[in-house]
Structure 1
Amino acid sequence: MIHRGLPRAACGQRLVLFAAAVALALYSGTAARADFSRLGKLADDGFAISAEARLLDGSRETLGSIAPRQALSPASVTKTYTAAATLERFGPQHRFTTRLKSLAEAAPADGVLNADLWFEGGGDPGFTSEKLWRLVQRLHQAGVRRINGDVVVSQWRFGPVECATTDRCEARTRVDNAYSAPLSSAGVNFGSWCVNIAPGLAPGEPARVTHCDGPPSLVSVDNQVVTRPDDSDTRISAERVTTDHGDLMRVDGQISANAWPRDEYRGASNGAEQTADTLTAMLERFAIDVSGASRVTTAKPPDAAQTLAAVEGKPLQELILRTLNYSNNYMADVLALNLVETPGAELADAGRALESYAAGLPGHGEVTLESGSGLTTDNRTTAHGVNVMLESMYHQSSLFPSFVAALQSPENGVMRFIRRGPESFQHNVMLKTGTLNEPYAVRAMAGYFRTAGGRWGVFSVLINGDRSTPYLSWSKVLEPLSADLADMIDTH
């Protein structure tokens, strides 16, 4: 019998081609599912979604999108705009400088400064009591032992900044958190008081409460914390209230007799006045006598005033790392206020500076930013706009390392709630989250990813509820979002 079929080699080639076609079909089917289809189901519960993920190579291929040009609240994803704008304006190694000035002689022979001592706030969002200590130490090293005048804290660059959100407005009289701290170019310790709570000497005794930075006179304390036997639960609540006599830290609850001491931070009612009190206490600890009082002003130090001591803050890239990693609202808003060149800046001015930065990004589109922190739902942008900003930073080789290093890896991030999802999401993504619950739910996430093939991409997801939508936990967002992003990563 004569066989008219294909030669054996040709049959082998056909089998190879068939297998390749099947593999391609399977791959294509998987790739077709690499979109935001899982995340999109949140729309069934009434949530508005703006999402976009795309590659950054020459193809700029869009891997998934849902209403990418719909403007929604980004919550703390706003901080990525603040980080990008300040990096472009100042550069990663910029340091904000805080100075002590006076009209008196820089090195008085008798150690007496016969003039006011001016503290000129430099707008350093990371200015802490450690830096203040160094500043006073340098004044002491300059030979100053007595000040025949007042201690004047100048916040001429900006401050006191008007409250623009409900949280910060309420915090002027009462606050149970640190993120609503007041804003000032002359602030210290992120605008918050800190008290240390340690167990008493025996069960039944009051806890021992001291100020973290100095004598108890810095802020009054109403201590209602009781020491309990070893291995008891430690439960402490704290709030700062403003009385006719100034700020009062009210602490309540219980602490185990064998518990480690713990610090409690609560926003002060006035940032510059807090600095004045802390500075006065440190002058006292260095045995520098002050004949006058301490006061706060929005005036600049006199032009003829000489710098007696100065201290530089940490490099901007380190400030941004802390701002984004810990989503520090105080630091973000102070950084944004530094973008305003005219004195006496308000948050609205900082917002306009950020809007101007975004307007300069080709193709960004609609944006409304009223603060640098995202503490308000009045901030609005789109997933597409956020990605345009992220792409702009990616292409700036001198800035991108500082920018991307400030984002979190899900596997190793300081925020434990993001440590979930598929392995490729955990290992191949760097992100910033945003969360608000009032007046409605906001869950946002944006950042970079690397695909299995080594290609860079950007993604942004903004999810907004309204007064009628149910509570939205992060698990309900991360479960579908991480799976969608993992598919995009694995199939490219």
Structure 2
Amino acid sequence: MDAVMFHRTLSCCLLVLSLLPLSVMASGFSRLSSLTDDGFRISAEARLLGTGDRADETLASLSPTLSLSPASVSKVYTAAAALDRFGPQHRFTTRLVGTAEPGPDGMLAGDLVLDGGGDPALTSEDLWRLVQRLHQAGVREVTGQLIVSQWRFGPVECITTDRCEARRQVDNAYSALLSSAGINFGNWCVHVAPGSAPGASAVVTGCDSKVLLPGIDNRVDTKAADSGTQLSALRLTEGGGDVMRLSGQISTNAHPRDLYRASADPADQTAQLLMAMLERAGIQVRGGYSTSTVQPPGSAPQLAAVDGKPLQEILLRTLNYSNNFMADVLALDMANGPRPSLEQGGAAIEAFAAGIPGHGPLTLRSGSGLTPENRTTASGVNSLLAYMFDQPSLFPSFVAALQSPSNGVMRFIRKGPASFQQRVMIKTGTLNEPVRVRAMTGYFRTRSNRWGAFTVLVNGTESTPYLNWTMVLERLSEDLAQLIESH
């Protein structure tokens, strides 16, 4: 080949390369990209994170600026924004106040008000501590009502099918409704144990009270030893109250099981449980209970208070268990204005992300990702991860809330090569309606101990075939392991 022909050939090749999409030229996700053959839409990027004067370095990309649904990967935005707003050691406070000072005889001549502080991790144990402190303060009788005030937010308008249906009935825990005065992640818990002998009904009790809360419709039979245990639970709202309808079987030698289902009204759930605890502590409330959206007056005397867990512990539970209730309550805590909506909570997080260099467009209709309208890009999520990596006071709490595949609580991630299992920290996201979404983001450490960030968003369409995590993890884990080992 003469020199003229060589240069013409070289120019032609360069022209062809310049016309190729950047995602094809710099893919690096050779296995993951095979999913595009079946019509799946993918936004993916892996980058080495810069330190000092060293800039970030893109290692692999596949349509990194394509805007797609992140599902529960949305929660990393909520976690980062909460850390930025409140700091890792922030605690939410829940109070009991009175409409009057209690007298020396222990009588409160007025109402007892629980002032819901928007604690995403408020539990039965916290309520019991409140009751104990109220007892220690000398209160023995309330002439008025117990009022659970969710004036900060709640009941929050449902904007997803799952949550709207949960107001009537629900067979899961993840679609819990929202309130600033909710406990136990907006879920009822019932304890199911085998009966005394085969043929007897199972023994069902509430997890948190001697009083049977919620109501129970027990259709679980006790079977002979080693017969297997199969339980189902449906929470219904009947006659104005929640009822847990249980069915199935439990063998005589089976371990007891705890079943969780979202309540129809988190504030009312709190009121019912708090009333039972007050009675158990010997504090009589004559007027019953109610819920309210009215803020207690600033002059109301504080009778007891409990500080929740530090934010860094809340985030570990929020991300590890992908808890929708906790994430959305946190987003609402960050919203501006009285009685915010989920969209306002998402807007507060969007405002935080707008200050991240290189992030680009972001749409969050919720902090949990339960809303299918959420949209971001792989490049945008990685910009968020890079930003948090550069925050020395926040990064340890942020990365600690992610899971290691080798020992994370989600067993389905315990797959792939050793480099993926041991050198990656991740958050996953899953949606099945209206289209299937499998998303993952997190940090990795290369063989030379460089920090990296990666994000993969895989979205189906109405015409794409079934998508499960195995299909994504098998490919992604191999691609990431190769990047980790080669750097």
Give the TM-score normalised by structure 2: 0.93
Q: Deviations over 1:147-167 (max 9, x none)?
A: 010101100111000101000
Match among 53, 59, 77 for residue 46 of structure 2: 53
Worse overlay, 451-460 or 54-63: 54-63
Preserved contact between residue 146 and residue 288 of structure 2 (Cα < 8 Å): yes
Deviation at residue 242 of structure 1 after TM alignment: 0.8
Aligned residue number for residue 365 of structure 1: 360
Deviation at residue 261 of structure 1 after TM alignment: 1.0
Distance in 2 separating the partners of 1:89 and 1:231:
52
Preserved contact between residue 431 and residue 438 of structure 2 (Cα < 8 Å): yes
Distance in 1 separating the partners of 2:436 and 2:482:
27
Deviation at residue 34 of structure 1 after TM alignment: 8.4
Aligned residue number for residue 260 of structure 1: 255
Aligned residue number for residue 34 of structure 2: 41
Deviation at residue 129 of structure 1 after TM alignment: 0.3
Does 1:459 pair with 2:427?
no
Q: Deviations over 1:185-233 (max 9, x none)?
A: 0001111111100110111000010011113443211000000011111
Map 1:467-486; keep pairs closer than 5 Å.
467-486=462-481
Match among 310, 326, 331 for residue 315 of structure 1: 310
Map 1:64-463; keep pairs closer than 5 Å.
64-106=60-102, 108-463=103-458
Preserved contact between residue 33 and residue 487 of structure 1 (Cα < 8 Å): no
SS in 2 for 1:265: strand
SS in 2 for 1:370: coil
Q: Deviations over 1:38-73 (max 9, x none)?
A: 100100011000001111121411110011001000
Preserved contact between residue 34 and residue 484 of structure 1 (Cα < 8 Å): no
SS in 2 for 1:421: coil
Distance in 2 separating the partners of 1:366 and 1:384:
10
Distance in 2 separating the partners of 1:213 and 1:280:
12
Specify the code of the residue in structure 1 equivalent to 2:374. N
Aligned residue number for residue 12 of structure 1: none
Structure 1 runs of 4+ aligned residues shifted over 3 Å read none
> Unaligned stretches of 5+ in structure 2?
1-24
Give the TM-score normalised by structure 1: 0.92
Q: Deviations over 1:316-362 (max 9, x none)?
A: 00000000001011101001110013221110110111111111112
Specify the code of the residue in structure 2 equivalent to 1:311. V
Q: Deviations over 1:16-38 (max 9, x none)?
A: xxxxxxxxxxxxxxxx9981111
Distance in 1 separating the partners of 2:441 and 2:168:
35
Preserved contact between residue 218 and residue 281 of structure 1 (Cα < 8 Å): no
Distance in 1 separating the partners of 2:27 and 2:417:
14
Deviation at residue 83 of structure 1 after TM alignment: 0.2
SS in 1 for 2:191: strand
Specify the code of the residue in structure 2 equivalent to 1:325. N
Aligned residue number for residue 20 of structure 2: none
Aligned residue number for residue 3 of structure 2: none
Preserved contact between residue 440 and residue 456 of structure 2 (Cα < 8 Å): yes
Distance in 1 separating the partners of 2:77 and 2:477:
23
Distance in 2 separating the partners of 1:340 and 1:46:
38
> Unaligned stretches of 5+ in structure 1?
1-31
Deviation at residue 103 of structure 1 after TM alignment: 2.6
Distance in 2 separating the partners of 1:212 and 1:342:
36
SS in 1 for 2:334: coil
Specify the code of the residue in structure 1 equivalent to 2:75. K
Q: Deviations over 1:289-337 (max 9, x none)?
A: 1110211111001221011000000000000000000101110100111
Aligned residue number for residue 23 of structure 1: none
**Rg larger in structure:** 1
Deviation at residue 245 of structure 1 after TM alignment: 3.5
Distance in 2 separating the partners of 1:45 and 1:256:
45
Specify the code of the residue in structure 1 equivalent to 2:30. S
SS in 1 for 2:314: helix
Preserved contact between residue 76 and residue 435 of structure 1 (Cα < 8 Å): yes
Preserved contact between residue 194 and residue 222 of structure 2 (Cα < 8 Å): yes
Specify the code of the residue in structure 2 equivalent to 1:110. D
Preserved contact between residue 27 and residue 61 of structure 2 (Cα < 8 Å): no
Q: CA 1:82–1:33 in structure 2 vs 1: closer, same or farther (change >3 Å)?
A: closer
Specify the code of the residue in structure 2 equivalent to 1:210. T
Specify the code of the residue in structure 2 equivalent to 1:174. Q
Specify the code of the residue in structure 1 equivalent to 2:82. T
